[in-house]
């Protein structure tokens, strides 16, 4: 269909060189870490380590339901911040229009949800 000319192939040479150099760099780093790094294994090195605290119990311990409620609230307010970005762009251009009403209603709904969560003491970790 389209003949491949030498000029077209010349455009791909920098990409090929980049891939080759990065693959060689990965191989060199892995080889150096294998040769230089200590290879001692033992029962103490095989246990999990978290922030300097010895693990207690199993890794499959259950979390309280409040942890998940906090996670969901975090996602809600994260989405709200994404919703504010177009508002900030339009605010700089003085073209708010109906979008101002939308953002106020959305913020009011999330504020009611935050007050409800606060009254239900979701934020208390005790």
> 99 Cβ partners below 8 Å, 6+ apart?
86, 87, 90
The residues spanned by each domain of the chain are 1-37, 65-119
pLDDT in tens, the chain (126 residues): 566 667 777 888 999 999 999 999 999 999 999 898 877 777 777 776 666 666 677 767 777 777 777 788 788 778 878 877 877 777 777 777 777 788 888 889 888 988 888 888 877 766
* 3-class DSSP state of 55: coil
Rounded to whole angstroms, the Cα distance separating 125 from 69 reads: 11
* Chain mean position to CA 18: 27
pTM of the entire predicted model = 0.41
Query: Which DSSP helix (H) or strand (E) runs through 12?
Result: helix 6-36
| Three-class HEC string of 15-46 | HHHHHHHHHHHHHHHHHHHHHHCCCCCCCCCC
């Amino acid at each position: 269909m389209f003949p491949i000319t030498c000029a077209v192939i010349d455009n791909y040479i920098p990409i090929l060189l980049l891939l080759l150099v990065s693959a060689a760099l990965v191989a060199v780093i892995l080889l150096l870490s294998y040769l230089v790094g200590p290879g001692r294994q033992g029962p103490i090195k095989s246990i999990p380590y978290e922030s300097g605290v010895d693990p207690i119990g199993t890794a499959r311990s259950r979390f309280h339901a409040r942890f998940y409620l906090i996670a969901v609230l975090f996602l809600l307010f994260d989405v709200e911040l994404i919703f504010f970005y177009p508002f900030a762009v339009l605010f700089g251009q003085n073209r708010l229009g109906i979008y101002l009403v939308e953002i106020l209603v959305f913020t009011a709904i999330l504020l009611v949800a935050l007050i409800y969560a606060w009254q239900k003491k979701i934020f208390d970790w005790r």
